[in-house]
Structure 1
Amino acid sequence: MTELSILEQPTSGTHTHESRGPSIAARISAMGQNRIGALLLLIATAAAIVWANLATGSYAAFWETHLTVGVGDIQLDFTLHALVNDALMAIFFFTVGLEVRREFAIGELTSWSRAMVPVIAAIAGLALPALLFVLIAAPSGHVGAWGVVISTDTAFLVGALALIGPRVPGRLRVFLLALAVVDDIGALSIIALVYTGDFTPYPLIVAALGLAGVYATRYLRGGRGPVYATLAIIVWFAFLASGVHPTLAGVAIALLVPVYRPDRRDVEHALELARTFRQSPSSEYARAAANSLRESISINERLQSAYAPYVAYVILPLFALANAGVVLSPEILTAAAQSALTWGIIAGLVVGKLVGVLGSTSVLKLLRVGEFGPGLTLDRIAGGGALCGIGFTISLFIIDLAIDDPAAQNEARVGVLAASVIAFVLATIVFRISDALRPDLNTGQTLVRPVDPARDHMYGPADAPYTIVEYGDFQCGFCLKASGSIQEVHDELGDQLRYVWRHAPLVQQHPNALAGAEASEAAAMQGRFFEFERGLFADQDNQRPTDIIRLAQNLGLDVARFERDLVSPEVASRVRDDMFDAEAMGITSVPTFFVNGRRHTGPYDAQSLIRALQSTAGGPDASTGH
């Protein structure tokens, strides 16, 4: 039996299958980066508070230091604080915009049925906190600062989930990431529409021309990087001159940067150049191979990968250092404790986010609207909703835009910091209780997703008394041997057996396993899943893109449709769902069998499987997995 995490990133070999956007493994890798970024953000926040309280004058004076940049009569004057908030944060919002663009193009928000739950939860998580804030903070005279409570800090959210999240966070993580994207869209829209002052429309003509140039740059054959950079600077200055907050220039540019899944032919071309370089090493072939590999990945994903470390490790910690320096004197803490503004922020972030996210998803689940997978339970969503109360980065950002009074700004910052701590502690408690109450899910002994004839790849009668569900990998030799055992079981039991295949590709050990899984789903869209499965098992060593297309041709599939389906969100989501099921049940090796709804241990030869089927026939209902 092959044993390895199905959600780990490959460490060796060449993954020759074209990407479907960031894979589950890539997102887990990104979570590690976000975890470190969240810790740096926390350290920077603590440093800002200590600095502001030990040397109040120096903290304020340092960030108000002026920098003048210019040529001749053209001069630009910035404080260090403005440089961080207006310039560096534009890069942060640029990466947010890239993520939004990717999610709508090839990610979680491509399908309304999948996106419905996080989108509605995000909208409720925007509206209810604002309403609570307005009701509670009205006596403070700062009702216009309601934008402070609308947004969740994605960096802290993902970092905190990695630190305190449940044992099997896969689906909850995807749900919260999709929710955070919609949350960011709402926050950015509100900043643009509500917190923009001294508006001058004429510079936006220049910005529009610059954005048109950004869009057209994709058609250049080379040298796109310097063109993108030059146009980005022009657009940023145009936004600054118009009165629209210049950070939104980053969002506008990001939404025009192309994102796509690599074309099979581009991948094959890159591989051919790499092989040519290996056979005849030269700088010319090296450049050609490197350029071809780079160009096969969309610039959106390349920019995300390039900027993410700078945002996580430099820009956000600098932002916290420049903005979190609240003075915590007894007088200020007393004023904050008595301030309607402070309590409005705490109630909005802690209560509003939790009730908005949990309440809206509870209604959807009650009405059976939207898609909830195994592991995305209401108790897990409650913990995630509590974490959404960490509204750190954009909350502090909007305080600076919405409140002019320094004393009120201090009270608001105390509210944001207090809400973030309370939200973190509350989420920790919810997740620990949730894990304690779900021992069966955590041990993975019961099939978490019921067998569904309309969804599952199944042969045998739907009402057969015996059921085997296999989680496997088309490149695994043990799964190949198991397929022979399954055939023997079927030969002996006949129509008394229904057999179900689900995907658990070991992406680290078998670099083409994910390719095979997704290709089989594309074949399934033409009703040829099991024929394609047999073809993959028959040639486990050759499952590169060209081999997969050749197999589709040999089976008589509509190859043009097959290639389109290969890059469809439906195919990627179907495989990913099985992988999340496997994660939820702690499956780390394949093949893994569930016999009549219960996990099978021991040999999986035909006679062992038949004995297990007969001995568990009166056990859990295999049709429901319970």
Structure 2
Amino acid sequence: MTSPPIAATVERSHKRLGVGASDRTAAALLLLATVLAIVWANSPWGDGYEQFWSMPIAVSVGDLSLATTPHQLVNDAIMTFFFFVVGLEVKHEFTLGELTDRSRAIVPVLAAIAGLILPALIFIVIALPAGDAHAWGTVISTDTAFLVGALAIIGPKFPARLRTFLLTLAVVDDIGALLAIGVFYSSGFSPVPIIAAVVLMAALALVRFLRAGRGFAYAVLGVALWVALAQAGIHPTLAGVAVALLIPVYPPRRRDVERTAELTQAFRESPNTEYAAAVTRSLRESLSINDRLQTAWAPYVSFLVLPIFALANAGVHLDAATLSAALTSPLTWAVVAGLVVGKFVGITVATAVVRATGLGRLAPGLGMPRIAGGAALSGIGFTISLFIVTIALPDPESQDLARVGVLAASVIAFSLGWAIFTIADRLRPPTAVGATLMRPFDATRDHFRGRVDAPYSIVEYGDFECPFCSRATGSIDAVIAHFGDDVRWVWRHLPLESVHPHAKEAAQAYEAAALQGEFLPMARLLFANQDALTTDDLCRCAAELGLDPERFAADLRSPRVVRRVEDDQLDAELMDLHSTPTFFINGRRLKGPWDSASLIRALEATVDSEPRVADTPR
């Protein structure tokens, strides 16, 4: 049975991180706003660009008055929403995402740290003679929106694992940039507003315990925190991060989902406004407010906030005088070198060192050429770089020189990344993916039957809702009966969610049962009950096997179990697998029928071949 490409499944699983068809659109809008700002600033109406963004705006209520400009409004207020969404993503990653797994996170985390430090050092060395070393913050951050958009535009095949690596790196990168803004690019601190800010953050942490009105409370306290930080001399956009980090995040809870199902059934039986309101409220509260806010605000940030910011900050004067000055300016070249060279060398070398020393390892399918291409794209430091330019360099001429460097570095970084991906794909064509098993057998990870050192090996990618996989189970039993302990059978997950809506949760049930040592009995029950794989059905299967029900329910949707299933899905995408069951015989993909006689013949034909990837220890 076949399905659309598994990439669609991966896109859905990464939707929270902004991975999808909208990446190119968001990047295109950001680029369009940048071009419009440059054209406007260098047109016959160029003076109007400066006049508009520096136009005074005053709001007065009685004796109280607030004076600002459109430029300050964008950078100090509207950009708070950008940092708010970044903070939500950071909180989610540390609580439920990639950063909860040390072995998974260590490589991109250390690479990100190197990608923060080396660019700053390069900038300081070059800019120090000109007296601009204090603006080192302009080169430390990668633009996440442009990074993901650039990857979508270049379009290397099977990008899911690289995208995950780069997004994890970008999260750590954002944390470093936010800390730099808060510590090094804020004005003198005022103690009373700081105390008020601390009290407000304590109040924000307690909002989760309110029975109702939590959204309103977060909004009011968030605005108050923004004002307190501004008065304290700390850049007020950090209020967005603080509020986001104090908002709770958790996976959907089974009791909440079941409550929603009960209310929905009641509404179906007796439709009325009271039940409708209860269903709506239950649906909303079954997801954490972090998830709901990311879904609600991310499009506004991508398609409105960031383009407005680019329009307000990218209007660099590219007249002959500015370009001539930029060509000889240590500040401009410090920005270019820091972003392009610093990011590329820092991330690539750090990844290679961490990998070589065994401190961490790359996900299957991620080689150093791919990492190098991603590291080159990380030199696109647009949004936060331009943001820090405005607060680190008060002189307008210096700002223009730095902006020229940011724009030039972004173009160079994109071109370099494109070249690396193109050359790497030509040297190692991705069309060869899938002929051999990409991830070797790992006795400490894989669920298997047979001896660890068995001379015959079968790796099956399957789907518990697929009837062909159920029938293949009988074939495997016959093969094991034929070879005995000389054959090793390994199961990996390829749930085809587009045609089998319960397949992924069934795979998670298998993994939850495996944590209690009952993966094989659970597999047989799942195949025997393919028409009954709802959450309640899975819990009944667990009870039938005598599993601890509370532990099973907790493990069923735990980050550890979900990541385990998604790891197999990503492996399948990297190998271009689109159907189930798919077999690898002694490390080579089986083409043709999978009845027991065919499997036995295939095993006997390959056992005397060269060393097999399936038998290589990890």
TM-score, normalising length from structure 1? 0.95
Q: In 2, Cα distance between the equivalents of 1:244 and 1:214?
A: 18
1:339 paired residue number: 329
Cα shift at 1:317 = 0.1
Question: CA contact under 8 A between 2:16 and 2:294: conserved in structure 1?
Answer: no
Q: Does the C-alpha gap of structure 1 residues 440 and 312 become closer, same or farther in structure 2, counting only changes over 3 Å?
A: closer
Matched residue, 1:318: 308
- 2:216 pairs, out of 206, 220, 226, with 226
Q: Which residue of 2 aligns with 1:164?
A: 154
Counterpart residue number, 2:204: 214
Aligned to 1:78: 68
Cα displacement (A) at 1:140: 1.9
Contact 1:171 1:375 in 2 (8 A): yes
Q: State the one-letter code of the partner of 2:261.
A: L
- Take 2:167 and 2:364, find their aligned partners in 1: how far apart are those partners? 17
- 1:621 is aligned to 2:589: no
State the Cα distance separating 1:533 from its structure 2 match. 1.0
Aligned partner of 2:452 among 447, 462, 465:
462
**8 Å contact 2:17–2:89 — kept in the other structure?**
no
Distance in 2 (alpha carbons) for counterparts of 1:441 and 1:472: 23
Q: After superposition, where does 1:258-273 map in structure 2 within 5 Å? A: 258-273=248-263
Counterpart contact for 2:123–2:335, Cα < 8 Å: yes
Instruction: Check 1:214–1:442 CA distance in 2 against 1; reply closer, same or farther (3 A cut).
Output: farther
Structure 1: stretches of 5+ with no match in the other structure: 11-21
Looking at structure 1, the residues matched to 267 and 457 of structure 2 have their Cα atoms a distance apart, in angstroms, of 51
Deviations 1:174-221 (A, max 9, x none): 111111000000000000000011321211222222222222111112
Q: Which digits, 9 at most, give the CA deviation of each residue in 1:256-288, with x for residues without a partner?
A: 000001111111111111122222222211111
Q: What root-mean-square deviation, in Å, do the aligned CA atoms of Structure 1 and Structure 2 show?
A: 1.7
Check conservation: 1:268, 1:545, Cα contact below 8 A.
no
Aligned partner of 1:53 in structure 2 is: 42
Q: Which runs of structure 2 are paired with 1:423-462 in the superposition (5 Å)? A: 423-439=413-429, 442-462=432-452
Deviation at 1:9, TM superposition (A): 5.0
Cross-structure match for 1:43:
32
The secondary structure found in structure 2 opposite 1:360 is: helix
Query: 1:31 and 2:47 equivalent?
Result: no
Within 5 Å, which residues of 2 pair with 1:516-527?
516-527=506-517
Q: Is the 8 A contact 1:2 1:591 kept in 2?
A: no
Instruction: Name 1:3's counterpart in structure 2.
Output: 3
For the 8 Å contact 1:166–1:380, the answer to whether it is kept is no
CA-CA distance at 1:560 after TM superposition:
2.2
Residue 414 in 1 paired to residue 404 in 2? yes
SS at match of 1:369: coil
Offset of 1:623 from its aligned partner? Answer: 4.6
Give the secondary structure class of the aligned counterpart of 2:100.
coil
| Aligned length, in residue pairs | 615
Deviation digits for residues 417-470 of structure 1 (CA, Å, limit 9, x no counterpart): 000000001001111122222236643111001111121111011222211111
Q: Which amino acid aligns with 1:6?
A: I
1:358 to 324, 343, 348: 348
**1:396 is aligned with what amino acid?**
L
371, 377, 380: which one pairs with 1:387? Answer: 377
Q: Match of 2:570, as an amino acid?
A: F
Residues 362-384 of structure 1: per-residue CA shift (max 9 Å, x gap): 01111122132211111110011
Give 1:27 shift.
4.9
- Give the Cα separation in 2 of the matches to 1:317 and 1:298: 28
Given that 1:440 and 1:446 are in contact with CA atoms closer than 8 Å, whether structure 2 keeps it comes out as: no
What is residue 494 of structure 2 aligned with on the other side?
A: 504
* AA in 2 matched with 1:421: V
Q: CA deviation at 1:624?
A: 4.1
- What percentage of residue pairs aligned between the two structures are identical? 56
> Quick check: 348-357 or 460-469, which moved more?
460-469
Distance 2:416 2:268 in 1: 55
**1:481 CA displacement:** 1.4
Q: Is the 8 A contact 1:7 1:24 kept in 2?
A: no
1:38 CA displacement: 1.0
TM-score with structure 2 length normalisation? 0.97
- Structure 1 residue 244: Cα displacement: 0.6
Q: Give runs of aligned pairs for residues 11-160 of structure 1, distance below 5 A.
A: 24-27=13-16, 30-54=19-43, 55-160=45-150
Call closer, same or farther: CA 1:324–1:581 in 2, change over 3 Å: same
In structure 2, the gaps of 5 or more residues are none
- Residue deviations 1:82-127 (CA, integer Å, cap 9, x gap): 1100110001000000001111111111122221111100100000
Contact 2:16 2:295 in 1 (8 A): no
Q: Which amino acid aligns with 2:401?
A: E
Worse overlay, 427-436 or 487-496: 487-496
Give the aligned residue type for 1:601.
K
**Judging changes above 3 Å, is the alpha-carbon distance between structure 1 residues 442 and 75 closer, same or farther for their aligned structure 2 residues?**
farther
Aligned partners of 2:251 and 2:557 also within 8 Å: yes
> CA contact under 8 A between 1:7 and 1:507: conserved in structure 2?
no
Q: Is the 8 A contact 1:239 1:249 kept in 2?
A: yes
Secondary structure of the structure 2 residue equivalent to 1:281 = coil
CA distance in 1, matches of 2:535, 2:610: 41
Give 1:334 deviation, angstroms: 0.9
Q: Which 10-residue stretch deviates more, 202-211 or 56-65?
A: 202-211
User: Are the equivalent residues in 1 in contact too, given 2:157–2:430 (CA < 8 A)?
Assistant: no
CA distance in 1, matches of 2:304, 2:254: 36
**1:203 paired to 2:193:** yes
Question: Does 72-81 or 615-624 show the bigger shift?
Answer: 615-624
Deviations 1:498-529 (Å, cap 9, x if unpaired)? 11100111122222211111221111111111
Q: Relative to 1, partners in 2 of residues 1:226 and 1:94: Cα closer, same or farther, differing over 3 Å?
A: same
Once the two structures are superposed, the pairs formed by residues 241-280 of structure 1 within 5 Å of their partners are 241-280=231-270
Q: Distance in 2 between matches of 1:276 and 1:248?
A: 45
Aligned AA (2:186): T
SS class of match (1:449): coil
Does 2:562 align with 1:572?
yes
Cα distance between partner residues in 2 of 1:140 and 1:25: 44
Letter in 2 for 1:89: M
Residue equivalent to 2:474: 484
Match of 1:18 in 2: none
SS at match of 2:500: coil
Per-residue deviation, 1:478: 1.5
Instruction: Give the secondary-structure state (helix, strand or coil) at the position aligned to 1:589.
Output: coil
